[in-house]
Each structure stands twice: as C-alpha cells, then as structure tokens.
C-alpha cells in the first residue's frame, strides 16, 4: 500500500489547523458581538457553552461558578451533562483538581491525560462520563474570579495551545459582559475598577474616543508605550493627532467607518511623545449606548514595529544576495543553493509559527509571509538547477511556482499559460512575488478557477490573473488595510502607479500588471 508523501501530510495538517483556527476566530467574534447586545448574563453563559462546544468539537462544556458559602464550584450551565445536574452538581474548588487549580491560581490548565495525571485527581463527575481530557480557564472578575469555563472530552485527540487561547477569549467575553451588566445598573460610574483592570491587563494599546474624536481613555500599556508622562495631559486630545502625517488619512477613514457602525483595520505609524517611531496594527470598532446609538469608538492597536524591522531586514537581505549573485558568476551556483535552503527553513518556521499563533491576524500575516518567502526560494531553486544562468525562461519558472501555490489550495484549480519568454535572472524574484501575490488574492477573495497568463508587451511583460468572482470593488486597487500586497506589486513591477489595471469590461475578476524586465 502506498503511503501519502510527507509534504502532503504536512500540507493537510496545516490546512486542517488553519480551518479550525479560522472557525474558532469566527465563533469568538460572533459571540462577542452578540454579548454586546444583551443584558441577560444567563443567556450569555449558555451561549458560551454552545460556542465552545462548536469551536473545540467537544461534547461536554460547562461553566462552574464559585460559591462562597460552601467553597465549592457549582455546575451552573453546560452542554452534554444530564439536565438534573445543571444547577446541582458540585465540584471541589481546591488546588488538587484541574478546575480548582485554574480557579485558585488564576491560570489556565490543560489536562490531556486525566487517567495518568499526577498533578490532579479526576473529579467523580468527569470519571462517571468517561472524560479523558479537559481544559480549564478562569472566568475572571474583580475583586475575585467568578468561576471556571471548562471543556471536556472522552476522545483521545489532545487539546492544543490554540484551543486554550480560544477558550480564554470566550471566558474574557463572559467576564466583560458581567461587568457591563453591573456597570449599566449604576451609570454614574463610566469606567469602574473592573473595566480599567481588564483593559489595563491587555498588552495592546487601547484608546476610547468620543464620537467627535476626543480621547477619553487610554490603558496603562498604551500610556507606557507612547511614553506619555501623564494621561491627563493628553485627555481630550484628537485621536487623529496621534498618528503620523502619512497615516492620518487611513486613521480618519477607519474612524468614520466606526461611526457608521462598521469595524475596520489599518496599519500605521504612531510615534511616541518623544518622537520614537512605532508601527501599529489597529482595529477600530463602534461602541453603542443604551439607545443603540454610536456614542464612542474604541481603538485596539498591537505593536508591530519589530515585524516591520524584520521585513526591512529581509528585503535588504534579498536585495544584497541578488546583487552578489548578479556580479559573481563563479559563486552563483553555490550561493543560490545556500539561499534556497535558508529560505526554505524560514518558510517552514513562518508557517509553523502561524499555525501555533493564538492570534488569527498574526497567523494570517505569517502565512502570507511564508508564501512570499517560498516564492523567492523557488527562484533560487531554478537558478541553482540551471547553474547560475544570467537569463531564463519566465514561463517555465512561473509554471513551477504556480504548482507550489496549487498545493496550498487543493480545492481551487489554477491554470497557467505562457509562451517561452526569456528574462534576466535577477527579475525572476520580483516577477514571482507579483504573481504569487495576485494568485493568493484570487484564491482568498475570488471564486472558481484561477487563470494566469504571461505574454510579452512592448519592452516588458503583461501578467493577467483572472477568476470567476464578481469583480473588484470600485475603489480597487487603492490599498485597504495595510496595503502591503499592492505596494509589493507596484514596487516589483517597476512601472510605478500605472502598473496595475483592473479590467471592468468582463463579467468576472481580471487584473492586469505591466512588468518591467530591464
């Protein structure tokens, strides 16, 4: 019997993990949005159990509330348990049980082998249902935790760190919903101790502004990272005034979208008060009042300065290596071989890190970066095989690259057609990056078969990418979000702002890029 190649096994595992992460992210977001619209905490807790069961494929989920009078954990809500046990079953809250340890320590606990655990005893309730593995996270509160959110399974498949992050996200929504319900009953406290404690515990920069853009709140992390000596000195200042001049327009557009009830993202540079440049990945969302009117806007920004620096270093490294390869024919073959191996390692590490990341946005960025590194690596693979030639067949190179991209999307067909076109070897990497970017976008946002055509056009090349989608939005190709993909296409095409054209004469998606070969 033939065995499945290791590459296909790894690709399938990566695909399954990506689908699971995406599903968990969607469930967590939908749950959080729903929780914002209700004051019924019981309904939120019941929904949390349902969401966790779906996200972890777990039959048994429960919320355990700590009872001060007995010092035990009460099974307050859940799925999979007998109905007469909801509201009556009691578990120990001491440090010798998984749930008790999570409550006492305030830290999550994964127990993938309860039968062989030396740290904890298996609660009688779990043993009765044949539970083999469990994951517990505390439902925090002020001044003490509310209880524990737990998922249990009689199956053999282990819970992972990404499952733990998903469970914590749901537990945090429960915590904040409970706090909001209490706070709404006492409107004289806009931000009480619990709210500020939760926000100040975040490692993101969180700002809350009024509808007219005046800064109303900033958490401690944001104050520290922006080197603000006293928040009162910047309170009331315009939210837009914090952003670098080149990014004010993006921040303003996102803020206006939030006022219209639409959450959005952008990436920009917000320097510290002392002028140190810092890059941020920002999500902006509306905050509604009791009358469902948008009264405030919340901005959650994650520091991505280090990633920007790494991207610049990687671009500089690629540029330096290509210059050396172009000027030294004798060393070209060996250098291509080593660079190809190094980039293959970088690609693997990026893909693995993306798979293990608990943050869906970071995971998506790392997967895109892995694809781009794979594209550059395939260039060096071809030049190594051809002993460092100065010019090569672009069609044959793109055919191999598209074959690699096809592996990453086995459910969508990619068709490629090109005559024999010889281009300078140093232009293969830019051509590959442009092609990979457009094909990846078609796979991500388009539909049906993806068709790629390469042909000569004047003193350069014309690259066309089509799919069966409904077409591009009217504002395209104006960058949205970070805009890094379209900036890469513009930069590497070598034709400036006129490089990209969207063909709107056809009833499907078609984008054309003019590529400079000299």
pLDDT tens digits along 21-31:
889 999 988 99
Is residue 288 within 8 A of residue 281, CB to CB? The reply is no
Is residue 282 within 8 A of residue 300, CB to CB? The reply is yes
* pLDDT confidence bin for 326, thresholds 50/70/90: low
- Average pLDDT value for residue range 362-373: 74
Between β-strands 215-218 and 205-210, what pairing exists: parallel, antiparallel or unpaired? Answer: antiparallel
Is residue 273 within 8 A of residue 195, CB to CB? The reply is no
pTM over 0.75: no
Q: How many CA atoms lie within 13 A of 177 on its CB side?
A: 24
Q: Among candidates 443, 449, 464, 478, which has minimal Cα distance to 510? A: 464
Of 236-240, 321-325, 437-441, 455-459, least confident by mean pLDDT is: 321-325
Q: Among candidates 444, 282, 364, 360, which has minimal Cα distance to 24? A: 360
- Whole-Å CA distances, 345 to 338, 341, 349, 373, 433: 11, 6, 6, 10, 18
Condensed to tens digits (0 to 9), the pLDDT of residues 176-193 reads: 888 888 777 655 444 445
pLDDT at residue 384 tops 90 = no
Omega cis (within 30) before 315 = no
* pLDDT confidence bin for 334, thresholds 50/70/90: low
pLDDT at residue 149 tops 90 = yes
* pLDDT confidence bin for 2, thresholds 50/70/90: very low
- Average pLDDT value for residue range 493-501: 79
d(CA 136, CA 168): 9
3-state secondary structure of 400: helix
Domains of the chain (ranges; CATH) run: 6-184 (3.30.450.40), 202-303 (3.30.450.20), 305-516 (3.30.565.10)
The pair of structure tokens assigned to 396 is 């044959």
The pair of structure tokens assigned to 238 is 């315009």
Better-scored residue on pLDDT, 459 or 134: 134
d(CA 127, CA 439): 51
Largest CA distance in the chain: 83
d(CA 174, CA 48): 8
pLDDT at residue number 328: 61
pLDDT at residue number 454: 94
Ordered DSSP codes for 230-241? -HHHHTT-BGGG
Better-scored residue on pLDDT, 115 or 73: 73
Could you tell me the end-to-end alpha-carbon distance of the chain, in angstroms, rounded to an integer? 51
- Average pLDDT value for residue range 96-107: 90
3-state secondary structure of 43: helix
Q: Cα torsion at 477, 478, 484, 487 (round to 10°)?
A: 70
pLDDT at residue number 3: 53
Backbone angles phi, psi at 506, to 5 degrees: -110, 155
Tell me whether residue 232 is exposed, middle or buried, using C-beta atoms within 10 angstroms of its C-beta: 0 to 12, 13 to 18, 19 or more. Answer: exposed
pLDDT at residue number 138: 93
Residues above pLDDT 90, as percent of the chain: 40
d(CA 165, CA 449): 35
d(CA 428, CA 451): 20
pLDDT at residue number 262: 92
Of 204-213, 329-338, 498-507, least confident by mean pLDDT is: 329-338
What's the mean per-residue pLDDT of the chain? Answer: 83
pLDDT at residue number 362: 78
Distance of CA 333 to the CA centre of its chain: 37
Which residue pairs, CB below 8 angstroms and at least 24 apart, start in 199-204? 202/300, 204/300, 204/301, 204/302
Between β-strands 60-67 and 72-79, what pairing exists: parallel, antiparallel or unpaired? Answer: antiparallel
- Average pLDDT value for residue range 107-134: 88
Residues in a beta bridge with 303: 280
């Amino acid at each position: 019997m033939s065995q499945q190649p290791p590459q296909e096994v790894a690709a399938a595992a990566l695909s399954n993990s990506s689908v699971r992460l995406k599903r968990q992210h969607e469930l967590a977001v939908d749950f959080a949005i729903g929780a914002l619209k209700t004051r019924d905490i019981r309904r939120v807790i019941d929904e949390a159990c349902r969401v966790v069961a779906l996200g972890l494929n777990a039959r048994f989920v429960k919320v355990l509330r700590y009872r001060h009078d007995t010092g035990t954990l009460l099974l307050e809500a859940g799925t999979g348990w007998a109905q007469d046990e909801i509201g009556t079953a009691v578990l120990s809250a001491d440090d010798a049980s998984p749930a008790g340890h999570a409550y006492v320590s305030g830290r999550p606990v994964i127990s993938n082998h309860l039968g062989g655990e030396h740290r904890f005893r298996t609660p009688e309730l779990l043993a009765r249902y044949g539970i083999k593995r469990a994951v517990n996270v505390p439902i925090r509160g002020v001044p003490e935790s509310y209880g524990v959110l737990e998922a249990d399974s009689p199956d053999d498949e282990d819970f992972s760190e990404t499952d733990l992050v998903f469970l914590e996200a749901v537990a945090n929504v429960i915590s904040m919903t409970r706090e909001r319900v209490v706070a709404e009953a006492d409107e004289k406290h806009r931000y009480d101790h619990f709210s500020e404690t939760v926000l100040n515990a975040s490692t993101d920069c969180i700002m809350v502004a009024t509808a007219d853009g005046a800064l109303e709140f900033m958490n401690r992390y944001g104050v520290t990272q922006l080197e603000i000596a006293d928040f009162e000195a910047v309170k009331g200042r315009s939210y837009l005034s914090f952003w670098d001049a080149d990014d004010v327009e993006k921040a303003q557009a996102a803020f206006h979208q939030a006022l219209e009830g639409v959450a959005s993202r952008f990436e920009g540079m917000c320097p510290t008060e002392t002028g140190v440049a810092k890059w941020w990945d920002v999500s902006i969302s509306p905050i509604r009042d009791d009358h469902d009117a948008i009264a405030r806007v919340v901005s959650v920004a994650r520091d991505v300065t280090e990633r920007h620096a790494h991207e610049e270093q990687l671009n500089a490294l690629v540029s330096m290596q290509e210059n050396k390869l172009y000027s030294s024919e004798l060393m070209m073959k060996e250098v291509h071989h080593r660079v190809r191996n190094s980039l293959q390692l970088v690609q693997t590490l990026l893909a693995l890190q993306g798979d293990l990341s608990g943050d869906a946005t970071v995971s998506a960025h790392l997967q895109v970066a892995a694809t781009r590194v794979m594209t550059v690596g395939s260039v060096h693979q071809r030049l190594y095989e051809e002993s460092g030639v100065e010019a090569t067949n672009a069609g044959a190179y793109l055919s191999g690259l598209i074959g690699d991209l096809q592996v990453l999307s086995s459910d969508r067909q990619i068709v490629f057609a090109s005559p024999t076109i010889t281009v300078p070897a140093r232009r293969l990497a830019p051509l590959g990056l442009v092609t990979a970017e457009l094909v990846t976008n078609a796979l991500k946002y388009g539909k049906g078969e993806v068709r790629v055509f390469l042909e000569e056009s004047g003193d350069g090349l014309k690259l066309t990418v089509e799919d069966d989608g409904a077409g591009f939005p009217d504002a395209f190709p104006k960058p949205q979000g970070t805009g890094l993909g379209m900036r890469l296409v513009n930069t590497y095409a070598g034709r400036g702002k006129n490089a990209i054209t969207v063909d709107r004469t056809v009833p499907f998606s078609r984008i054309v890029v003019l590529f400079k070969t000299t």
